[in-house]
Structure 1
């Protein structure tokens, strides 16, 4: 690793053509990208100077929370400076000259295959599991077999020179993934009109601590858009909470809510305040 990395590079987990790559292209179109093998390596790339930001998926409207991310975020040493919502369109990609009728196997990540079950069944195509949807596209290009196709993004078709045999074949038309953009320093740019703040906390071991901790947000009119719990330290009794709220810590209402929260917590850590993605307002 070297400190002389491209000054505008964003790291993501996966291969070129993955939906995380699509998120990078949409959110930072003039930046180079750095594919990484794992979420840990993605964050390491930023900490060690090989990239200046990381694009990290946190949740999907179809399959929910992305495993391990909530555990990694608080220990990453990075700050959330933005969010990006990506519409996940799944496409059937085949080698040049192939048609849907030629395809016998469709390769993709385990999570994507059930999301296209109706299309696969209607076309008598067997779903086959691989480690990554972009990897599937790369393999299909290398196999050069009309009977084998990939379920992946349009970006993957572009990168691996595949034909799009069928577009947007996902069973649900509302499939979106939310990504967080993370950097080594907190975002100090001028505030946007609509801000989000993300934090993690642990409640004190007293009766109704969580109920009381949440009261400050209700009484001060602060909208909490997400609250999730997860175990830490391998213990059933050690529970940490992850939360997203609308607003900024400088807002008086948010200040009052966080002060009340802090009274009932043994640990409180703000992971970042950042502009809300426009699709939160307009349902894009």
Structure 2
């Protein structure tokens, strides 16, 4: 009786054939993307600029990829592969520049690459305000900024920047945050007496540090990337940073995933200059200022409840325009062009002193 199981050689031949087919199909897709760019460009009036990146279209494509996936690769792995294919194809149409809160190696850069893929040019900025300015001026196509962490809460600088910046939220991305204890080639691991990291990372790893390095000095720096960079010259120090920083600076992991909360994640927002059409699964963000009176918040939120619209976040920040005046930052499900959301926003605008629409955008897919 012959053995019907395929041999290693046969399986490798099959993989080679599949690789050729995959490569041909990717290049066909890239060619089609170039034709799309030509069609868009030909349809522009003189002086107009074609828009190649469509956040709602990409969200729809990635959702369909995940819906029809049958394994053995899981949905997220499959979507990440398509994300990179789409990124490379889009770069043939128009290479994009993405500003992010730097320096190189931060979690914000990782979020930018997760959302846009690796075929974009990432531009590190020193502050969140600078990210907004790069987008407003047109020096960057889009910007990526952190807005909230599941452990440490909202990033106030980002919320404050939205009050005066002339940008639109075009998307969101959620990133699971894993912190690692890193050392350099010259570090004596038994002599670690100081640990560098961002203050927020120290807060997220407090219990682990108390258990494993209670006597080490915890020295806050401007970013985890800055902490990683210092490992090149220090022999008695370690840094807390992420995977990207470890790769960039060639550091060794002494301990992995040291965050106290295993579900620790950060939400980032994509800011741009264009309004985004509905993708079918969207969020909308607004800023509202109400008269300072009893029941103001209840009066503001009641229309959402009556319309059956799900609120996903409500934050309060002091207004710069007056003492004891406050702004409400509200995220809710739905697109501003749908009838139910239009009616609620109209009602809110009649009640409020001030309303700023920050944009409607696809819910995070990855």
After TM superposition, is the score higher than 0.5? yes
1:138 and 2:229 matched? yes
Deviation of the 1:64 alpha carbon: 0.7
| Equivalent residue, structure 1, for 2:107 | 19
1:54 and 2:133 matched? no
The correspondence of residues 120-135 of structure 1 with structure 2, limited to 5 A, is 120-124=209-213, 125-135=216-226
Deviation of the 1:97 alpha carbon: 7.2
| Equivalent residue, structure 2, for 1:282 | none
SS of 1:112's equivalent in the other structure is helix
**Do the aligned residues in 2 keep the contact of 1:107 with 1:149 (CA within 8 Å)?**
yes
| Equivalent residue, structure 1, for 2:345 | 258
SS of 2:139's equivalent in the other structure is coil
Alignment counterpart, residue 163 of structure 1, candidates 249, 252, 258: 252
**Do the aligned residues in 2 keep the contact of 1:120 with 1:126 (CA within 8 Å)?**
no
**Do the aligned residues in 1 keep the contact of 2:101 with 2:128 (CA within 8 Å)?**
yes
Alignment counterpart, residue 182 of structure 1, candidates 268, 271, 275: 271
Higher normalized helix content (fraction of residues): 2
Gaps of 5+ in 1: 1-5, 280-284
Q: How big is each residue's C-alpha offset from its partner over 1:175-214, in whole Å with a ceiling of 9 and x where there is no partner?
A: 11111000022224xx222100000111245653332222
Q: Structure 1 CA distance, aligned partners of 2:243 and 2:308?
A: 42
Distance change >3 Å, CA 236–CA 18, structure 1 → 2: same
Alignment counterpart, residue 203 of structure 2, candidates 103, 114, 127: 114
| Equivalent residue, structure 2, for 1:231 | 318
**TM-score, normalising length: structure 2:** 0.70
Deviation of the 1:48 alpha carbon: 2.2
Q: Structure 2 CA distance, aligned partners of 1:206 and 1:138?
A: 51
SS of 1:255's equivalent in the other structure is helix
**TM-score, normalising length: structure 1:** 0.89
Q: Structure 2 CA distance, aligned partners of 1:85 and 1:201?
A: 25
| Equivalent residue, structure 2, for 1:3 | none
Higher normalized strand content (fraction of residues): 1
Deviation of the 1:117 alpha carbon: 2.4
1:216 and 2:303 matched? yes
Q: Structure 2 CA distance, aligned partners of 1:160 and 1:234?
A: 44
Higher RCO, 1 vs 2 (CA within 8 Å, ≥6 residues apart) = 1
Aligned-residue CA RMSD (Å)? 1.9
Q: How big is each residue's C-alpha offset from its partner over 1:120-174, in whole Å with a ceiling of 9 and x where there is no partner?
A: 2333343222121100101112x152x2111001100101111122110111111
Gaps of 5+ in 2: 1-93
- Higher-Rg structure is 2
Provide the aligned length of Structure 1 versus Structure 2: 270
1:87 and 2:173 matched? no
1:41 and 2:130 matched? yes
Q: Structure 2 CA distance, aligned partners of 1:254 and 1:99?
A: 59
Q: Structure 2 CA distance, aligned partners of 1:17 and 1:266?
A: 42
Distance change >3 Å, CA 229–CA 262, structure 1 → 2: same
Instruction: Return 268-277 or 255-264, whichever deviates more.
Output: 255-264
Instruction: Return 261-270 or 201-210, whichever deviates more.
Output: 201-210
